[in-house]
Structure 1
C-alpha cells in the first residue's frame, strides 16, 4: 500500500502543483480586475456605475481585459509618443518619496532582465563557491561597474549564484572571467537542475541515459570475441 500510495502521489503531484499555481495567478489577476472596476465606478456616470459590478461575475473577463490592456500598452509604448508618455509617467513617480525607491529599483531590474539586448541570465557557468574546490552553478549577469572594475587587474564578470530549492534568493559575485567554466546547459535546464537540488538532469543527458526501468541500450560488441 505504501508503494502504491507514493506512486500515485508522484503521478498527481505535478498536476496538483500546476493547478495550484494557475489558480493563485488567476486569483491575483481577478483581484487587480476588481480594483480596476472599483476605480472605474468613481469616474463613470451614476447611471452606469451599478452595472459595473455585474462585469465581475463574468468568468474569464478579468484575465481577458488585463491581457488586452497589457497588449495595448505595449503597442502604445512601442512608438515615439508612447515613449514620451512613459517618460512623463516615470518622472511623476520619481518625485514621490517612498514610491520612488521601489519603482526605480523594480524598473531597473525588469529592464535589465527582459531587455532583448541585455546579458542577464543568458549563460549558465560553473564557479567555485563558497570555497575553492567546491563548485556550483551560476548565471552571468554582465560586467562589473566601472567603479569596481578599476580595482581588478584582470577581466571580471558579474555572476549570480542562486540558492536551492528557491532560486529567487542568492549571492552576487564579481569574479575573474578565467575562473569560471562554461556549462553545456541552457538557462532553463540549469534552473531546473538547481531547483531539484541536482536530481533533475538536463534533457540532453536523460535522452542519452534511460531512466531506471527503461530498456537498456544494447551493449557494444567485443571485437576480440
Structure 2
C-alpha cells in the first residue's frame, strides 16, 4: 500500500515537473526577447539623452528623443541621396582606409555588409555545402567566383573559389578552392545562411536543404 502511494506521488511530481519544464521552456525565449529589447531600448534612450532638450515641450510624445533621432536619420539619408554629401562620405571613407589599424576592420565590415545587401547579387553568388575542414564534416560557405583556368590544378575540371565564414564572427573565415564535384549548392538565401552561421545553427531557415 505504501509503495503504491509512493508510486502515485512520484508520478504526480513527474507530471508536474514536465508541465513546469514545458511551460518554462516556452516562456523563456519570450521573456529573454522582452528583456533584451528593454535593455536595448534603455541603452538607445540613454545614448539619445542629449537630444531631449531639442524635442518641443508642447509635443507630449513618448520617447521623443528616439522619434527625433529617427527623423534626423531619414533627413540625413534624403540629403545623401539628393545632394553632394556622398562625396564627403567618400572622403571620410578614403581617410579611414588609409589608417593602418582601422583599414582592415573597416574594409572587411563594409565589404561583408555590401556582399549581403539586397543590391549585391554578384559577390556571394550561391550558398554551398562543402566537406571542411576534413572529410565527413560539412561547412556552409559561399561561392564567390570560378577560378581562372590558368590557376586551376587540373585544366580538365572546373574549380571554384569558396568563402567559409567563422562562427560567431563572420567577418573572418577561410578561402578555399574546390573542384565542382566537391561542391553542394543549397537552396537558401545568403541572409538565411549568414543567420545560421552567426547563431551557430540555432537559427535555421524555414526552407531546409
- Relative to the length of structure 1, the TM-score reads 0.60
Q: 2:192, 2:112 → 1: CA distance?
A: 22
2:20 equivalent to 1:5: yes
Deviation of 1:112 (Å): 3.4
Q: Which runs of 5+ in 2 are unaligned?
A: 1-15
Deviation of 1:196 (Å): 6.7
Is the CA contact 1:29–1:62 (under 8 Å) kept in the aligned structure 2?
Answer: no
Cα distance change of structure 1 residues 100 and 31 upon mapping to structure 2, 3 Å threshold? farther
Equivalent position to 1:74, from 72, 77, 83: 77
Q: Which runs of 5+ in 1 are unaligned?
A: 39-50, 206-225
Is the CA contact 1:26–1:63 (under 8 Å) kept in the aligned structure 2?
Answer: no
Equivalent position to 1:157, from 144, 161, 175: 161
Taking only aligned residues, the RMSD between alpha carbons, in angstroms, comes to: 4.0
User: Partner residue of 1:62?
Assistant: 65
Deviation of 1:120 (Å): 5.3
Instruction: Name segments (4+ residues, structure 1) moved above 6 Å.
Output: none
Q: For residues 2-48 of structure 1, what are the alpha-carbon distances to aligned partners after superposition, in whole Å with 9 as ceiling and x for unaligned?
A: 201111112212211221332233233223313x549xxxxxxxxxx
Q: 2:73, 2:205 → 1: CA distance?
A: 34
Is the CA contact 1:193–1:201 (under 8 Å) kept in the aligned structure 2?
Answer: yes
Is the CA contact 2:116–2:190 (under 8 Å) kept in the aligned structure 1?
Answer: no
Is the CA contact 1:167–1:191 (under 8 Å) kept in the aligned structure 2?
Answer: no
Equivalent position to 1:19, from 34, 54, 64: 34
Q: 1:76, 1:69 → 2: CA distance?
A: 10
Cα distance change of structure 1 residues 112 and 137 upon mapping to structure 2, 3 Å threshold? closer
Aligned length: 185
User: Partner residue of 1:87?
Assistant: 90
